[in-house]
Structure 1
Amino acid sequence: MDVDRYMEAQRVSGFLVLKDGFVVLERYGLCRTVNDKWDSQSVTKSVTSILVGAAIQDGYIKSLDSLVTDYVHELKGSAYDGVTIRHLLTMTSGVKWNEDWNDPNSDACVELFSGGFVDGVDPTVAYMRGVSRADQAGAKFVYKTAETNLAGVLLSNAIDRSLSEYLSEKLWQPYGMENDAFWRVNSAGHEFGGLGICMSLRDYARIGQFMLEGGMAGDRQVLPPGWVADATNVRVTFEPESEEAESGLAGYGYSWWVLKNGYAALGHAGQAIFVYPQDRVVVAINSVWPEAQIEDNRKKRGAFVEALRAEAVAQQP
């Protein structure tokens, strides 16, 4: 299958390959152009993780082992007592959760579409303080979009400004992003930490390159030294028969998926940033996969991205 056939079959709106920071291939489909934005879905989680690292570097957050309730006081006395920021970023808080987006009564759907402030409390916080505990904190990985939404609220409280402002200050401006971006907000006007950043394809790729360069923006250390290695190392190991392992994922870091030879930010319906540090390669890709074809398309994307990586490595300097 050549590139054109793959893009048509997989409903790809664009992909871009960087090698050593230079574009080696860039293509668009579905009438998209170089400046058009695309919803990142859960790729946003990895961006929120970057901002948590920046807040630690800036001294707004003490450490990943700080308690969630130290920054979100309304959660005191809830299932989040004793839960750390590290637990949020690794999806190991131990709270009971249902992430089934096809069930309108699931925790994920109810939390996302909940109303505005509840007695002056952000709707994400209001919902999460009512969940129960299923496991000991740190014991089990359960994917929970709401916990990255909660990490966003925590982060906003710590920095005392919006996530959009902080993202602009720490990454968009100093790293020279090409286009403005948009970030969806909840009914209370707060950004969703777990989804909703809309940006151009080249700026997707720049996020990967920023990570590849160790969290530096020019001569500015945006992330703590060693943060990228820590965030993209295996913090959660998947069982061999798990859905994640069968998809070729080696583990989960701080809101980054760990690959056998790199790491990735992954979002629903085919949004992704793949980073291969040893090869100095970044692949950004956006798609719109039909719900029924997601599992099959994920496997086909893996083969496609691996072919792009191999070809980029084979290119002469």
Structure 2
Amino acid sequence: MRRLRRSTLGWKVLLAVLTATPAAAGIAQVPPPAAFVVPADMQVLFWPAERRERDLRRMAELIPHARIAPSPAPRPLPAGEPLDLDPSAFMEAERVAGLLVIHRGQVRLERYGLGLTAADVWDSFSITKSLTSTLVGAALAEGAIRSTDDRVTDYLPELAGGAYDGVSVDDVLTMRSGARWDEDYTSATSDVARFYLTPPPAETDATVAYLRALPRAHPPGQHWNYNTGETNLIGVLVARATGRPLSAYLKEKIWDPAGMESPAFWMLDAQGREAGGCCVSATLRDWGRVGLMALERGAVPGGAIATPAWFETATAQRIDFPDSDRGYGSQWWTRGEGARFEAAGIFGQLIHVDPAKDLVVVVLAAWPTATGRARSEARLAMIDRIRAAVD
């Protein structure tokens, strides 16, 4: 399998006040506002640290989300032998709201901070990308998507005539479309800054309308560029192929069979559609169940979510980063040349999966900055401590 080297790295997210779609079974959505307005105080990247610590647990109260009901058959998470490890200093220094360690199917450590409780949800930011990837696997398993070798225009023909001509579903999943995209959140003129602020033409999906206007910067499949808009595009493609809103499909294909015990909330865009690239809010324990789903290659108690081969492909290292043990797969990050893999979001969110150790580690946090090398290294050091402690 051909690998590519990283060209740029952007871990960013977009948030806006958004409208809603009609409710589906098990899904509740807020009424749409009278007008679509993005209040200045909802620019999460620029909130003071204390507000993130307070409000990342209540995003569904602040902006429209779809509510995903709990599974009718919650998966038990039995307690195991407590780890001989005190994470208190790490949690305080790194502003950690939740730390969960599941080893061999048992909870070995579960701690909360910043006032979070086991009943509270926390925003995941780009952890959601890995859920959207899994929904592609589910759509493949049921035949709604025929192959990731298909062209995205096979499912979204209105993209024809632009940078997405000749781009495969796999190219988009691995962020190698070649379309020019600027993920710079420090610039008001970047694509990610303007993405949700550009009104779409009538009867046109907002994501498709914006992305079909992008120019091509590289041939498809040859250049990696982190692009939240393209994960939103994957979400549009899954919804179109399955005929289901993403929140309904998430409930059917992941939330119910994986045995989630609490509701989740998925941020909606200006047209009332779920943002495939961001912002599912869920409890710490349910994020642990997401990690178990990936660890078990989708063979969860409630039935197979996708094929084991899909998970092997999605979590394999497809992109190599020079001078790093990190890589990228299909909306999953990898470590150790793919021996371990992660779902990750800004401000410190992480699900770390170590198949060799039968281990899932979840970190929910409110870092003072969206990203940071020192904080990433501190978190990795804690994960290494945990990996040593479970031996």
User: Counterparts of 1:293 and 1:122 in 2: how far apart (Å)?
Assistant: 30
Structure 2's unaligned 5+ residue stretches are: 1-84
User: What is the aligned counterpart of 2:384 among 306, 309, 317?
Assistant: 306
Residues 46 and 256 of structure 1 are in contact (CA less than 8 Å); yes or no, is this contact kept in structure 2?
yes
Residue equivalent to 1:31: 115
Q: What letter is aligned with 1:280? A: D
Q: CA RMSD in A?
A: 1.4
Cα offset, 1:119, TM superposition: 2.4
- Whether 2:375 is the aligned partner of 1:297: answer yes
Q: What letter is aligned with 1:12? A: V
Residues 256 and 302 of structure 2 are in contact (CA less than 8 Å); yes or no, is this contact kept in structure 1?
no
Show CA shifts across 1:12-42 (max 9, x none).
Answer: 0001000011100000000000011111000
User: Counterparts of 1:274 and 1:164 in 2: how far apart (Å)?
Assistant: 24
Taking structure 1 as reference, are residues 23 and 292 closer, same or farther at Cα in structure 2, changes over 3 Å only? closer
Question: What secondary structure sits across from 1:96 in the alignment?
Answer: coil
Which is further off, 9-18 or 220-229? 220-229
- Whether 2:178 is the aligned partner of 1:102: answer no
Cα offset, 1:294, TM superposition: 2.2
Taking structure 1 as reference, are residues 271 and 56 closer, same or farther at Cα in structure 2, changes over 3 Å only? same
1:1-317 equivalences under 5 Å are 2-115=86-199, 117-218=200-301, 220-240=303-323, 245=324, 248-249=325-326, 251-260=327-336, 261-291=339-369, 294-312=372-390, 314=391
Taking structure 1 as reference, are residues 275 and 219 closer, same or farther at Cα in structure 2, changes over 3 Å only? same
Q: What letter is aligned with 1:60? A: A
Show CA shifts across 1:85-104 (max 9, x none).
Answer: 10111000001111011222
Residues 346 and 370 of structure 2 are in contact (CA less than 8 Å); yes or no, is this contact kept in structure 1?
no
Q: What letter is aligned with 1:253? A: G
Question: What secondary structure sits across from 1:140 in the alignment?
Answer: coil
Q: What percentage of aligned pairs have identical amino acids?
A: 43
Cα offset, 1:234, TM superposition: 1.2
Show CA shifts across 1:223-273 (max 9, x none).
Answer: 123111111111112233xxxx3xx41x11110111113000010010010
Q: What letter is aligned with 1:266? A: A
The two structures have a TM-score, normalised by structure 1, of: 0.93
User: Counterparts of 1:191 and 1:294 in 2: how far apart (Å)?
Assistant: 28
Show CA shifts across 1:27-86 (max 9, x none).
Answer: 000000001111100000000000000000011000111110111121011110000110
Residues 234 and 276 of structure 2 are in contact (CA less than 8 Å); yes or no, is this contact kept in structure 1?
yes
Question: What secondary structure sits across from 1:148 in the alignment?
Answer: helix
Question: What secondary structure sits across from 2:353 in the alignment?
Answer: strand
How many residue pairs end up in the alignment?
305
User: Counterparts of 1:74 and 1:304 in 2: how far apart (Å)?
Assistant: 47
Question: What secondary structure sits across from 2:372 in the alignment?
Answer: helix
User: Counterparts of 2:277 and 2:229 in 1: how far apart (Å)?
Assistant: 7
Taking structure 1 as reference, are residues 126 and 292 closer, same or farther at Cα in structure 2, changes over 3 Å only? closer
Q: What letter is aligned with 2:206? A: P
Taking structure 1 as reference, are residues 139 and 8 closer, same or farther at Cα in structure 2, changes over 3 Å only? same
Residues 114 and 187 of structure 1 are in contact (CA less than 8 Å); yes or no, is this contact kept in structure 2?
no
Residues 236 and 252 of structure 1 are in contact (CA less than 8 Å); yes or no, is this contact kept in structure 2?
yes
Residues 99 and 111 of structure 2 are in contact (CA less than 8 Å); yes or no, is this contact kept in structure 1?
yes
User: Counterparts of 1:78 and 1:293 in 2: how far apart (Å)?
Assistant: 32
Taking structure 1 as reference, are residues 137 and 36 closer, same or farther at Cα in structure 2, changes over 3 Å only? same
The two structures have a TM-score, normalised by structure 2, of: 0.76
Residues 183 and 226 of structure 2 are in contact (CA less than 8 Å); yes or no, is this contact kept in structure 1?
yes
Residues 95 and 367 of structure 2 are in contact (CA less than 8 Å); yes or no, is this contact kept in structure 1?
yes
Residues 317 and 334 of structure 2 are in contact (CA less than 8 Å); yes or no, is this contact kept in structure 1?
yes
Cα offset, 1:2, TM superposition: 4.8
User: Counterparts of 2:154 and 2:333 in 1: how far apart (Å)?
Assistant: 27
